[in-house]
Amino acid sequence: MSHIPPSEYLINRELGILEFNRRVLAQAEDETTPLLERLRFLCITSSNMDEFFEIRVAGLKEQMRLSPQHTGIDGLTARQVYKEVAKVAHALVARQYQLLNDEVLPALAQEGIRFHRRTHWTPEQADWIREFFFNDLMPVLTPIGLDPAHPFPNVLNKSLNFAVELAGKDAFGRSSGKAVVQAPRSLPRVIQLPKEIAGCEHGFVFLSSIIHAHVGELFAGMQVQGCYQFRVTRNSDLFIDDEENKNLREQLQGELPHRHFGDAVRLEVADNCSEDMKAFLLQQFHLTRDDLYQVRGPVNLVRLMNVPDRVERPDLKFAPFTPGLPPQLAQQEDLFKAISAGDILLHHPFQTFQPVIDFIRQAAEDPNVLAIRQTVYRTGTDSELMRHLIKAAQRGKEVTVVVELLARFDEEANINWAEKLEAAGAHVIYGVVGHKTHAKMALVVRREEGRLKRYAHLGTGNYHARTARLYTDFGLLTCQPELCQDMNDVFQQITGLGDAGEHTYLWQSPFTLHPNIVKAIRHETERAKNGEKAVIVAKMNALLEPKVIAALYEASQAGVQIDLVVRAVCALRPGIPGVSENIRVLSILGRFLEHHRVFYFWNGGAEDIYLASADWMDRNFFRRIETCFPVLDPKLKKRVINEGIKPYLKDNTKAWEMQPDGSYKKRARRGRAFEAQAFLLNLLTAKS
């Protein structure tokens, strides 16, 4: 096989993402999922689809405009992909709202959690809602009648709006017949009614229902013929000119506001929207019928995400848990002593993220610590870890933080942290232009007995305490000298200028990670050709890079047994006779977002284990700074195998098996039910 597989052996990325979102939606369909969590999964599906349109569909539209004849590695033009995407996306959205209206909302109502529709309000509810409208909504609503003096307003990305059809003339004799009402983002999209008014334990009303019911109050003397909620999704990719860029932060700060007003890529309207208004809105946003999504319910479904948190019904949610603590840390609070005694593996969210925060806190407070270096990709707007870095800088320690300003949708938070760090006296580096810094690493330099010693944390996930309770990730605390030296060299590459150099243990993008992954795959291939046992297991979020896929196909043909656990999109087709019959692809979806990257190579029984910040995608290999590191301690290596590989290969409850055509089927259950995440919760969390 050539270095790049034939197009018929590759799955299109956009269609693969939609297949992933089908599997997310299936969590909401699953009646064994707690009811409020089913609602949450519906919202997660909406959030995923928003980003899909903002980035992937927006990219397809750009390709259709700029290079319509160009085909991707799957052999399809952008227009061909877009047509298929539109068909699949419309079906997925229709199923989503069918599930909301026909199953989830009725089931919630039976549990005393009701969303009151305006056609069913009691007189008491109508009075309360009317008062709420006049006191809390009407003062902040601005109706815009459309005429030559009031052109169609600039509608914010993903904002809630109402298109109103009117009859009659206003005070100035105007009668354009159309108006727009924009709902300020500060307004809640779901309003909770007092219990005595709701008539149930938890009663809610959609903001859209309240505005629909009282929109006539905004147009005195005119008759409302129709009121239709709508929402437009816009291209949210940021344009940063690498050649013209003199100051990345300044250019990014100038670009961020434009994200709200990029080119429209999708229009969502209520299912009762008139044909005339649909045509009018499509014309305003320069969209076609393929871009129109009519929905039976709120167009901004993602804004229901906080409803489960507002309802005190533990019986309708996932059971709470207390993350566990590795035994080495249970007996030793001094992290530097604990790490000196041996490497420590953390498995989130089953084990607590607190030791990572404590690592930076103790470094900030310890007078013997001279320097701290850390990468930051996503950390959140309220980060205890970042506050410790700021305190360390204020105490005069040498603090260097590589802040990735182009972490999508976290740009503003990262700019704010960068400014605070600089104000405290830290060195803030914005990485390398053209290469996002996606590596997760922290390095501490400490004076001990007259010499300097390095301590380090390496991880597969972000330094984000909240997502560390939601995402599965591994983290390693170590003082292994060669590994720490490798990390120091990477930091020097980023902050200074110079050659890549050779590392003892680290594989690094964009230099050595891709060739070393391909080399390891080919090493197993050669062993298989020689009649030896050969096994590859890789767990990641996405697999797209064609040369790695080609190497895996060659390995399969040689007889290597390959198991891939790929949460989201996988371009490789498993099970093709003569090509990939020795490859199995699983996708695990459950309570937690599967996020760790684990690579296993049998290597003649040595069982090499690597953990990484990188997926097997072009961007991770060639356009990002990533790290991949071996697990050297035999006990910890065994832990990774027993916690990060074996349970996922055994899962027959939350596992989906990829078919050769790119579709997925729920894995057939043989024998007793086994769920990887439930097993790990039982194994690693704190026992009460």
- Are 571 and 449 in the same domain? no
- Are 295 and 333 in the same domain? no
Has residue 322 been placed in a domain?
no
- Are 216 and 251 in the same domain? yes
pLDDT 10s digits, 608-663: 999 999 999 999 999 999 999 999 999 999 999 999 999 999 999 999 999 999 99
DSSP state of 118: G
Residue 151's pLDDT is: 84
The beta strands (E) that lie in 303-403 are given as: 344-348, 369-376, 398-403
Has residue 28 been placed in a domain?
yes
Segments forming the whole domain that contains residue 513: 508-684
Has residue 457 been placed in a domain?
yes
Query: Amino acid letter at 468?
Result: A
Residue 647's pLDDT is: 98
- Are 555 and 443 in the same domain? no
Has residue 34 been placed in a domain?
yes
- Identify the domain boundary among 316, 341, 358: 316
- Are 494 and 550 in the same domain? no
- Identify the domain boundary among 505, 531, 548: 505
Residue 149's pLDDT is: 66
Catalytic residues, by residue number, are 438
SS3 107: helix
- Are 252 and 362 in the same domain? no
All residues at 6 or more sequence positions from 28 whose CB lies less than 8 Å from its CB, including other chains:
38, 39, 41, 42, 45, 96, 99, 104
Residue 4's pLDDT is: 84
Residue pair 60/82 in contact by the 8 Å Cβ criterion: yes
Alpha helices by DSSP H, 496-533: 513-529
Q: Which residues of the chain have pLDDT under 50?
A: 1-2, 238-246, 248-249, 251-259
- Are 466 and 517 in the same domain? no
SS3 293: strand
- Are 284 and 345 in the same domain? no
Residue pair 609/599 in contact by the 8 Å Cβ criterion: yes
- Are 122 and 247 in the same domain? yes
- Are 214 and 359 in the same domain? no
CATH assignment at residue 73: 3.30.1840.10
Distance CA 262, CA 59 (A): 12
Distance CA 373, CA 426 (A): 10
- Are 295 and 380 in the same domain? no
E strand or H helix at 636, and its extent? helix 634-640
Structural domains in the chain (count)? 3
Q: Which residues pair with 231 in a beta bridge?
A: 268
Has residue 288 been placed in a domain?
yes
CATH assignment at residue 561: 3.30.870.10
- Identify the domain boundary among 459, 476, 505: 505
Query: Amino acid letter at 118?
Result: R
Residue pair 44/24 in contact by the 8 Å Cβ criterion: yes
Residue 567's pLDDT is: 98
Has residue 205 been placed in a domain?
yes
Alpha helices by DSSP H, 437-499: 481-495
CA dihedral 636, 640, 642, 643 (to 10 degrees): 120
- Are 308 and 355 in the same domain? no
Residue 259's pLDDT is: 46
Has residue 321 been placed in a domain?
no
State the DSSP string of 565-597. EESS-B-B-TT-TTTTTTEEEEEE-SSSEE--E
Has residue 1 been placed in a domain?
no
